[in-house]
């Protein structure tokens, strides 16, 4: 079934609010149906056929979100692209995905037009930060009715490219079943209903804002307040109109610094969730003390949507990502042999379920290498499952440090450093070392005025960690490098410190 047909079936009343803007404008579900019909008709008239890719690099606007839905209605495959990508990066994505249509900001029309012409793309349309452009103009005269193109569960609905921190970016293919099954599960698990209003401050070129937030709310028939980007003042101003918010850890650390964040300001809220990057236990505790709300942390990735979640009812344990979601199998296995490990043992996290993608776009060998024979996907994350069934993420397999023949998981050391007075956060990496292969290296962000030294940090860690886990060096920085979703870019730190030990 076409995911859009499922969304249409959950509309309780066409006149109900669908998207609200910070300025107070309201787009109803009836407006959504009419506008997506016009956009879908325009895509078809531009030559987009079922299964074709529609590549989109534009700012976050309601019109952009409607374009995603229109692409589904047309039976095409939505390909959102990070607005920070350069022309050189776009050349790779467009060349690899071979879209039938590219939609971009009018200011980038010339550069992207050259790439499109060279890559054989049939058409280029524009949308600006206000939702205006050649695409919206063309759609204005189209009919407000459109017969949705039939799709099967296994047909592609979207392709999202992974960040590509190692090797070239891979296009994760996501089917209508992948997206619908996961959104249905989250709707139930997180108790979303038509009465919910989600404060939406996430980007929509990423699985978190587009699928986790957007699809879940739509399958509940709820509404969204659509912020173009996160702004703490705007979030606090609009919070009284919302019932729920999905965010990344940096959202919450910034809100904690806002004087308006109080128990009273959050008393009406039903749910705060966090994902896309690890939430510090300190942030979890401080937010609960200040607001009375325990942030619900969960775990997912581009290739799988959501895999686990802390419970809606029950203890939300800081530093964990909760239990496997209904219908999703999660196990810990030896990364080399695939042998399933015992409870509490640290190993590779593997998942299986209707949420898991069928593979990487035009990369059959890479796809084969990432799946076990019994259908489990090798996530590349390292973790464990405790006695109560809570999943703990230790780190990424590629972040594992091998020093003097010993395996060191950065998360263990980071947790100890983060607990030290005066520390905001830390990142532990392995840097080339002439004697040990890799030297354990800690990069630390301190609170203003904190009097921490390299010697003091190592002295504290000596009482908590085995000697081989101790950092050879502790470096202090103002901020850790992050990507647009708040994940610390350890590859950048490794590059910056590649010659630290000579």
Instruction: Give me 300's structure tokens.
Output: 């997912």
pLDDT at 166: 46
pLDDT of residue 434: 78
Q: How many CB atoms lie within 10 A of CB 379?
A: 23
Per-residue pLDDT, 81: 95
For residue 80, the model assigns a pLDDT of: 98
Q: What whole-number distance in Å separates Cα of residue 375 and Cα of residue 357?
A: 11
**Averaged confidence pLDDT in the chain:** 95
pLDDT digits 0-9 by tens, 417-451:
999 999 999 999 999 887 788 899 999 999 999 98
Condensed to tens digits (0 to 9), the pLDDT of residues 420-429 reads 999 999 999 9
Distance CA 261, CA 489 (A): 29
Contacts of 289 (CB under 8 A, 6+ apart): none
Alpha-carbon gap, residue 462 to 465, rounded angstroms = 6
Other CB atoms within 10 A of residue 480 CB: 18
pLDDT at residue 163, as a whole number = 63
Q: Which token pair is 45?
A: 């008239």
For the segment 119-128, what is each residue's pLDDT rounded down to a tens digit? Answer: 999 999 999 9
SS3 (DSSP) at 364: helix
Task: Decide: helix, strand or coil at residue 162.
Answer: coil
CA 319 – CA 46 distance, rounded (Å):
49
Stated pTM of the model: 0.88
* pLDDT value at 165 more than 60: no
Q: Rounded mean pLDDT of 468-493?
A: 92
Given pLDDT bands bounded at 50, 70 and 90, which one contains residue 167?
low
Up-side HSE of residue 385: CA atoms within 13 Å toward CB?
19
| Residue 470 CB partners (closer than 8 Å, separation 6+) | 440, 458, 461, 462
pLDDT at residue 232, as a whole number: 97
Contact in structure between 332 and 319 (CB atoms under 8 Å): no
How does pLDDT run across 377-401, given as a tens digit for each residue?
999 999 999 999 999 998 888 888 9
Q: Counting beta carbons within 10 angstroms of the beta carbon of residue 94, is it exposed (0 to 12), middle (13 to 18) or buried (19 or more)?
A: buried
Rounded CA gap, 169 and 171, in Å? Answer: 7
- CB burial string 220-231: b at 16+ within 10 A, e below: bbbbbbbbeebe
pLDDT of residue 332: 98
Confidence at 349, pLDDT banded by 50, 70, 90: very high
């Amino acid at each position: 079934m076409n995911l859009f047909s499922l969304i249409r079936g959950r509309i309780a009343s066409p006149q109900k609010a669908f998207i609200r803007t910070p300025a107070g404008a309201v787009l109803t579900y009836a407006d959504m149906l009419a506008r997506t019909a016009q956009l879908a008709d325009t895509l078809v008239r531009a030559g987009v056929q079922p299964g074709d890719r529609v590549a989109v690099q534009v700012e976050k606007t309601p019109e952009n979100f409607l374009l995603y839905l229109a692409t589904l209605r047309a039976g095409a495959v939505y390909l959102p692209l990070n607005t920070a990508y350069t022309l050189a990066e776009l050349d790779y994505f467009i060349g690899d995905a071979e879209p039938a249509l590219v939609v971009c900001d009018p200011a980038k029309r010339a550069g992207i037009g050259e790439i499109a012409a060279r890559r054989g793309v049939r058409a280029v349309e524009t949308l600006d930060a206000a939702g205006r452009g050649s695409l919206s103009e063309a759609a204005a005269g189209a009919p407000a009715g459109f017969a949705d193109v039939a799709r099967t569960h296994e047909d592609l609905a979207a392709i999202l490219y992974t960040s590509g921190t190692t090797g070239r970016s891979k296009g994760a293919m996501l089917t209508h079943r992948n997206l619908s099954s996961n959104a249905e599960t989250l709707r139930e698990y997180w108790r979303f209903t038509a009465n919910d209003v989600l404060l939406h401050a996430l980007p929509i070129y990423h699985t978190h804002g587009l699928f986790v937030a957007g699809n879940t709310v739509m399958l509940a028939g709820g509404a969204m307040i659509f912020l173009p980007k996160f702004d703490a003042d705007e979030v606090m101003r609009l919070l009284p109109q919302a019932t729920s918010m999905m965010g990344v850890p940096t959202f919450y650390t910034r809100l904690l610094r806002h004087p308006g964040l109080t128990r009273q300001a959050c008393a009406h809220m039903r749910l705060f969730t966090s994902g896309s990057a690890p939430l510090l236990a300190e942030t979890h505790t401080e937010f609960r003390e200040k607001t009375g709300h325990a942030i619900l942390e969960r775990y997912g990735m581009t290739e799988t949507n959501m895999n686990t979640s802390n419970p809606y009812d029950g203890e939300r344990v800081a530093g964990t990502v909760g239990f496997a979601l209904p219908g999703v199998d999660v196990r810990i296995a030896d990364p080399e042999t695939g042998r399933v490990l015992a409870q509490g043992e640290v190993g590779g996290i593997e998942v299986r379920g209707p949420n898991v993608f069928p593979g990487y776009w035009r990369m059959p060998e890479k796809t084969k290498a990432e799946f076990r024979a019994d259908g489990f996907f090798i996530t590349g994350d390292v973790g464990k499952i405790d006695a109560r069934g809570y999943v703990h993420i230790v780190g990424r397999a590629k972040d594992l440090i091998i020093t003097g023949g010993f395996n060191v998981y950065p998360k263990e050391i980071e947790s100890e450093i983060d607990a030290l007075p005066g520390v905001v956060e830390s990142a532990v990496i392995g840097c080339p070392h002439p004697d040990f292969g890799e030297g354990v290296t800690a990069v630390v962000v301190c609170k203003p005025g904190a009097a921490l030294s390299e010697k003091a940090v190592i002295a504290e860690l000596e009482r908590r960690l085995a000697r081989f886990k101790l950092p050879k060096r502790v470096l202090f920085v103002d901020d850790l490098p992050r990507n647009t979703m708040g994940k610390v870019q350890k590859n950048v730190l490794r590059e910056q410190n590649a010659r630290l030990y000579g």
